[in-house]
Amino acid sequence: MTSSMTNVLNRSQKKANRPSDEQLAAFGAELDALRERTLSDLGERDARYIRRIVAAVRYTEVIGRGLLFFGLFPPAWIVGTLLLGISKILDNMELGHNVMHGQYDWMNDPHLNGKTFEWDLVGTGDHWRKTHNYSHHTYTNIKGMDEDIGYGVLRLFPEQRWRPFFLGQPIYAIIFALLFQWGVAIQDLRFGKFFNGKKSGKEMLEEMKPFLKKTRRQLVKDYVIFPLLAGPFFVPVILGNLVANGIRNLWTYTIIFCGHFTADVQLFPKSVLKNETRGHWYFRQIRGSSNLTGSKLLHVMSGNLSHQIEHHLFPDIPAHRYAELSVEVRAICQRYGVHYNRGSLVSQFSQVIWRILRYSLPSRYVPINASA
Amino acid sequence: MMASQTLKRIVAPLVDPAVYDFWAQKISPTLSWDRCLARIESRHIEARDTVSLILKPNRQFQGFQPGQHLNVTVEVNGIRLTRSYSPSDTLRSDGRIRLTVKAIPEGRVSRHLVHHSKVGDVLELGAAFGDMTLPKEAAAWLLVAAGSGITPIMSLLQTLLQKPLEQPVALIYWARTRADLCFSEDLHSLTNRDPLLKIHTVLTREDHRLADELGGRPREALFRNLIPDLERRRVYVCGPDGFVTSVRGLLEPHAALFRAESFSPAPVVTRAGAPVTVTLSKSNVSVQVPSGTPLLKALEDSGLKPAYGCRMGICNTCSCQKQTGSTTDTRNGAVQNEPGPVRLCINSANSDLTLEL
């Protein structure tokens, strides 16, 4: 064995290193303490922050839509479309995603209630609360339970079996990115079951009702009402809305894929759930997530999902706190020898693209490591 | 008004109340699609640790009857908190409401309103409730107040005095010291207004009482001396819990009618395992569950099926609004006595609860 190969092996062994049960118990206790300390400090500062985000969503939307009415003038169209895209990104990520986790429930403000909040996306809030808040956050990176692993269309891990279908994956990935909000919206409708006859058309239609209602509302808003308000200048408004939705789709796709599909993240078998301790649950969240390093702007625009690890550890703590929490989480991980996966957007997203390309091609099926 | 109501109904499906409120409040801070907001127009120190706030509510305000109270919601350190306060004035033609609030040592809302609220601050008001209201017909009254229990009583008294009295009315008002008496000037001027009105003040901790001031706790002799015709009086009482209980024992058997309201005490916290009643307000169901057990499990053991997901406090699926009662977060032991969202899987009951389920 050459020394470089030994290094690679050591490196990957080190990353997959799982502390002993006693160590994990202490590890969990330290993270619990960090959580309690933060929760007890929530107050005015957090309320002010989320209201500033609400204001940013509202102002960018109004100015963006306003400029699009003058969309025949190209600079107005470009700035208007960008602002509307930014508004939709903030609404989806820093506001909607975080509020729907119940991060601001302690404020007791009916407009910021996790159970009732609705966002500017075709997917309904209720659907998201089920697939994301429950399935994805509880069963993070457990093969067969977390449906966010490849979203049912992509093979991103050698632990998924290869089929010839996946040869087209680079193309599907691009289509999926452009239509990301639609992909997420229909995730729980399980069209597969309908196509292979396990669900009747009537059942399918019944389940689709809330989605169709929300979709109609979104489409009428972006592609009928606002264009009509522009009168004869409706074409630039339609195009601006289309592009703004597209920008938001591409950006959210990029951020979310960087959160769980970078090179070093780990998958887990269902067996981990048996008697899983708090400490091991924390460990699984960390090993299944990866962070992005970057400026404050990146963190805000990603809804602080750039701190994916902290988000998975503490999904109900206001996300703007993750930056300060991450310093301590890293230190705790270091003490217990738990690999803390972080990198720049370029480096992490390159790893995602590599996975999309690599696993579109056949590779040896790796049975999932039961000792993880 | 009618036309605007109709217009509102037509456009309602297109309006997101959160967006409407955001922009409307840039124009005026109390504008709202569906919530009753009120602005503090002025503040007046009424007594020791007590202020009167003059509020101007928006058009969503449904009004109140003298003697009723309103749920008042304020934001303190980022958290919206709700308490009941009584207007202390009669209905005013300009639509303003006077709330009188006494700061109590551990009271987060009362301390905020008394010490930190400013002219221009906005509060939210709920619908008025309470059945200590005035009937149409004239009657002989005995009004009894202790401490800040004077607020609904003052509203009742001023409403009675809007017309010349036909039958006698008496107010007996307990306070600790003279500095704790609210509305001193108003009460003095009222005394001279109608010969059928008698006002007595009783001070329990004042060292040097004046000639017309009485002392001591409620007792039969005091009531008999001041109100010889007790049998024909209708009695309304408002004050702390203990005070109201003792006055009830003395007066209820003798008076023509007796009604009382006390400041709601903190929820009665039981020891772990003792049964508490959980009322599910939307499904109109009440069940007995053991306190100290996570609510999700306790409700399931009673045969109910609340929505749930992770069962470990992550996913928020089982979260619902707690309307009343005290709960403990089973992960860290933190006690929450305020209404607000609770996750059933990681909270247990300490007292009877009302949940919006």
- Residue B239: give its domain's CATH number: 3.40.50.80
Give the chain A residue nearest B320 (alpha carbons): A115
In this complex, which of B78, B317, B339 lies closest to A107 when CB atoms are compared?
Answer: B78
Whether residues B202 and B237 share a domain: the answer is yes
Per-residue pLDDT, averaged over A156-176, amounts to 95
DSSP letters, A45-69, are HHHHHHHHHHHHHHHHHHHHHHHHT
Amino acid sitting at position A87: S
Whether residues B40 and B146 share a domain: the answer is no
Helices (H), chain A: 3-16, 21-39, 44-68, 74-90, 98-100, 125-128, 137-138, 169-178, 180-185, 191-195, 201-220, 226-229, 234-260, 278-287, 296-301, 308-313, 322-336, 345-358
Average pLDDT across chain B, whole number: 93
Give how far B339 is from chain A: nearest CA, Å: 8
Helix and strand totals (H; E) in chain B? 8, 20
Whether the pLDDT of residue B331 is over 90: the answer is no
Tokens of A263: 């090179």
**Residue B136 located in a structural domain:** no
Asked if the Cβ–Cβ distance from A115 to B319 is below 8 Å, we say yes
Give the chain B residue nearest A281 (alpha carbons): B312
Residues 165-224 of A with CB under 8 A from B: none
Mutate to test the interface with A, among B75, B77, B316 (most CBs of A within 10 A): B316
Tokens of A166: 């996946």
Of chain B, the percentage scoring pLDDT greater than 70 comes to 98
Asked if the Cβ–Cβ distance from B78 to A114 is below 8 Å, we say no
CB B350 within 8 A of CB B270: yes
Asked if the Cβ–Cβ distance from B315 to A36 is below 8 Å, we say no
ipTM: 0.88
Give how far A47 is from chain B: nearest CA, Å: 5
Whether the pLDDT of residue B273 is over 90: the answer is no
Whether residues B178 and B209 share a domain: the answer is yes
Mutate to test the interface with A, among B79, B116, B296, B324 (most CBs of A within 10 A): B79
Whether residues B256 and B148 share a domain: the answer is yes
**Residue B267 located in a structural domain:** no
Of chain A, the percentage scoring pLDDT greater than 90 comes to 82
pLDDT confidence bin for A82, thresholds 50/70/90 = very high
**Residue B323 located in a structural domain:** yes
Whether the pLDDT of residue A290 is over 60: the answer is yes
Mutate to test the interface with A, among B315, B321, B344, B347 (most CBs of A within 10 A): B315
Helix (H, G, I), strand (E, B) or coil at A368: coil
CB B160 within 8 A of CB B234: no
Give the chain A residue nearest B311 (alpha carbons): A138
| Chain A hits for B77, Cβ within 8 Å | 43-44
Whether residues B253 and B152 share a domain: the answer is yes
| A347 close contact with B: CB closer than 8 A | no
In this complex, which of A107, A130, A137 lies closest to B79 when CB atoms are compared?
Answer: A107
First to last CA, chain B: 35
Residue where a domain terminates, one of B262, B297, B316: B262
Whether the pLDDT of residue A185 is over 60: the answer is yes
Whether residues B118 and B150 share a domain: the answer is no
**Domain with B62 in it: what CATH number?**
2.40.30.10
Whether the pLDDT of residue A15 is over 90: the answer is no
Whether the pLDDT of residue A277 is over 70: the answer is yes
CB B256 within 8 A of CB B231: yes
- pLDDT tens-digit map of B279-300: 999 999 999 999 999 999 999 9
| A95 close contact with B: CB closer than 8 A | no
DSSP bridge partners of A292? A343
Q: How many CB pairs under 8 A join A and B?
A: 83
CB A82 within 8 A of CB A64: yes
Residue where a domain terminates, one of B129, B159, B192: B129
Which helix (H) or strand (E) is B76 found in, with range?
A: strand B69-76
Whether residues B35 and B82 share a domain: the answer is yes
CB B109 within 8 A of CB A77: no
pLDDT confidence bin for A335, thresholds 50/70/90 = very high
| A11 close contact with B: CB closer than 8 A | no
- pLDDT tens-digit map of A237-259: 999 999 999 999 999 999 999 99
Our count of domains for chain B comes to 3
Whether residues B218 and B303 share a domain: the answer is no
pLDDT at A372: 45
Whether the pLDDT of residue B266 is over 80: the answer is no
Residues 293-322 of A with CB under 8 A from B: 315-316
**Residue B134 located in a structural domain:** no
pLDDT at B267: 64
Asked if the Cβ–Cβ distance from A48 to B78 is below 8 Å, we say yes
Helix (H, G, I), strand (E, B) or coil at A17: coil
Whether residues B47 and B86 share a domain: the answer is yes
Tokens of A105: 């429930």
**Residue B214 located in a structural domain:** yes
Whether residues B208 and B299 share a domain: the answer is no
| A54 close contact with B: CB closer than 8 A | yes
Distance CA B235, CA B221 (A): 17
pLDDT at A371: 46
Whether the pLDDT of residue A4 is over 50: the answer is no
- Within a 10 A sphere around the Cβ of B105, how many other Cβ atoms? 7
| Chain A hits for B81, Cβ within 8 Å | 108
Asked if the Cβ–Cβ distance from B309 to A133 is below 8 Å, we say yes
Tokens 């619908």 belong to residue? B127
Distance CA A23, CA B210 (A): 73
pLDDT confidence bin for A3, thresholds 50/70/90 = very low
pLDDT at B1: 53
Amino acid sitting at position A233: F
Whether residues B30 and B63 share a domain: the answer is yes
Whether the pLDDT of residue B264 is over 80: the answer is no
Asked if the Cβ–Cβ distance from A58 to B316 is below 8 Å, we say no
Average pLDDT across chain A, whole number: 92
Asked if the Cβ–Cβ distance from B23 to A114 is below 8 Å, we say no
Residue where a domain terminates, one of B199, B229, B262: B262
* Burial (0-12, 13-18, 19+ Cβ within 10 Å), A334: exposed
Crossing angle between the packed helical segments A74-90 and A234-260, to the nearest 10 degrees: 40
**Residue B6 located in a structural domain:** no
pLDDT confidence bin for B45, thresholds 50/70/90 = very high
Asked if the Cβ–Cβ distance from A48 to B77 is below 8 Å, we say no
**Residue B82 located in a structural domain:** yes
Mutate to test the interface with B, among A108, A111, A121 (most CBs of B within 10 A): A108
Distance CA A241, CA A236 (A): 8
CA A118 from chain centre, in angstroms, equals 17
* CA nearest neighbour of B89 among B185, B15, B154: B154
Tokens of B312: 């470990």
pLDDT at B15: 84
Distance CA A219, CA A124 (A): 13
CB B167 within 8 A of CB B196: yes
Whether residues B280 and B225 share a domain: the answer is no
Whether the pLDDT of residue A7 is over 50: the answer is no
**Residue B10 located in a structural domain:** no
Q: Which range of residues forms the domain containing residue B153?
A: 141-262
pLDDT at B2: 66
